[in-house]
Amino acid sequence: MSKKHAINHKERKREIRAAGLKLFALHGFDDVNFGMIAKECGIARTLLYTYFKDKRAIFNEAVTEATSSVEAQYREIMRSRQSADAKLRQLCIAVFAMLFDNRDFLCVIVDFLCEFRRKGKIPVDNIMRHTVGLKRIIHSLIVEAKHRGEYDPALDANRATSLLYSQFEVVVLRIAVSGKAEISDSIDKMNSILLAFRSQDGVLRHFQ
């Protein structure tokens, strides 16, 4: 019975998290309260507190789940015996897929971070950790590709990392602001940039 209870408990938390994200996307993080989330879930507000202490905890757990899933893909890609360039391509595709598969949640995150900036607060730790970690992986793969002769040895790894990472920022902006973004276009642009990494002149053209 205890095992059955644990499964129900996990499902209930997932339902609450989904309801919270739905409301955050519709109304904005600041305009949603626990009463609204409880009503959306069809449970008492007091019961909601047994699962999450506040709406920030719901948001944080959703971020942790999303980032943990994609980070597992990163580790699998890094363990493969492919070329550094192939790993980088797979990594970028995994990130794009995560962004496009979580459009509503992405809008919630952008709204949340903008509100934090307006209030002069520090963003959520797991978001910042994921961002920094992704940049480090991209940089390490670019450096590896240079050493293996896959990319131009004169390629500036820092600038190349910034150029590639900016493609994720473009997708985030397009999804959150206009909603007009296609994963195929993003992958085509990424492939063009990675092809340019084989020549320092090619990278310079992308910066111009």
Q: How many CA atoms lie within 13 A of 114 on its CB side?
A: 12
Residue 169: strand, helix, or coil: helix
pLDDT 10s digits, 96-142: 998 888 887 787 877 777 776 676 665 556 667 778 888 999 999 99
pLDDT at 126: 61
Q: Taking the C-alpha atoms of 196, 197, 199 and 203 in order, what is their torsion angle to the nearest 10 degrees? A: 70
* Superfamily of segment(s) 60-207: Tetracycline Repressor, domain 2 (1.10.357.10)
Class of domain 1-53: mainly alpha
pLDDT of res. 160:
94
pLDDT tens digits, residue range 159-200? 999 999 999 989 888 887 777 788 999 999 999 999 999 975
Q: Domain coordinates of the chain in residue numbers? A: 1-53, 60-207
More confident residue, 91 or 9: 91
> pLDDT value at position 137?
93
